[in-house]
Amino acid sequence: MKIVFLERAAVGKDIDLSAFEKFGEVVCYDTTLSEEVPRRVADAEVVVINRLRMNEESLKDAGNLKLIAITATGTNMIDWDYVRSRGIQVENVRGYSTNAVAQHTFALALALIHKIYYYDRFVKSGGYCGTEGLYEFERGLFELQGKTWGIIGMGAIGRRVAALAENFGCNVIYYSTSGENREQPYECVDLDGLLARSDILSIHAPLNEKTEGLLDRRAFAKMKPTGILINVGRGPIVDEGDLAEALKTGQLRAAGLDVLSQEPMNPENPLLQIQDSSRLLITPHMAWTPVETRKRVIEEVHKIVQRYVTEKNLSHECPTR
């Protein structure tokens, strides 16, 4: 069996993949351009990807392909009609990044609330070297205790964030994008209620037809001008042009983003115009990247391949199955 890792760099070179060698030949490419996919997967039985699109154009010559394993939760890169027509199995990894992404959510929120980057620059620039810098109180810091933390997407990550927010003394409310998740131990509200009441609003929802462009200028107009937006879900859930305008005009206090509509970032993205890190923090989709998390995702991919091999062997032993 041949296993091809098309995006080895996406899990980090510090993560050991030698356990896969027991299954057969393992070929790793640090990165792969879309036009390189057909040649690299031509004789693969198992392909491991992170973000590359899997469709007829990329897979038409992969006659041996039986399994696509994704080192992520999202599956929007898969042309499901095509892979199903070919009988290609697709498996993703769920739950591996819950703690890491929840932790990053608070890293962004707390850095913005406490103006960490402003004060770091203030001290290092010499502003604190003298009595005139002794009292630097006018930056709008506040306590989380008693504030309302709103959540869009009450899945595993959303629930973890909710529990942490409660530990900080927040009142947690949430909006169900599907309209079906109403059994959580928190107040479920409609979108307008969530926008109007949230002091901090964090996004943990998948990207679909109900969430794409969900937060735009109309949504920002309904939020508190003191509100803080955190997006660690999917970039296109937020209209980035409208967010840039809301931040520039003071319609919104601040935002912290780990995801963008285009990744890597488009150099024309209007958010690049906002260089004030006390208003806007952007990290390069790395909330999920702690070493423990990356080890976990590879362990889960290994289990996926092991299950596939086991089922394959059983079907060979019992051809009537």
Catalytic residues: 234, 263, 285
| Closest residue by Cα to residue 269 from 247, 292, 241 | 241
Could you count the other beta carbons within 10 Å of the beta carbon of residue 16? 9
Burial grade of 172 (CB within 10 A; 0-12, 13-18, 19 or more): buried
Burial grade of 55 (CB within 10 A; 0-12, 13-18, 19 or more): middle
Rg of the Cα trace of the chain? 23
| Closest residue by Cα to residue 65 from 78, 11, 35 | 78
What is the spatial distance between Cα 231 and Cα 1, in angstroms, rounded to a whole number? 40
Q: Which two tokens stand for residue 173?
A: 């409310």
As a whole number of Å, the end-to-end CA separation of the chain is 21
Residue pair 249/217 in contact by the 8 Å Cβ criterion: no
What is the spatial distance between Cα 66 and Cα 47, in angstroms, rounded to a whole number? 9
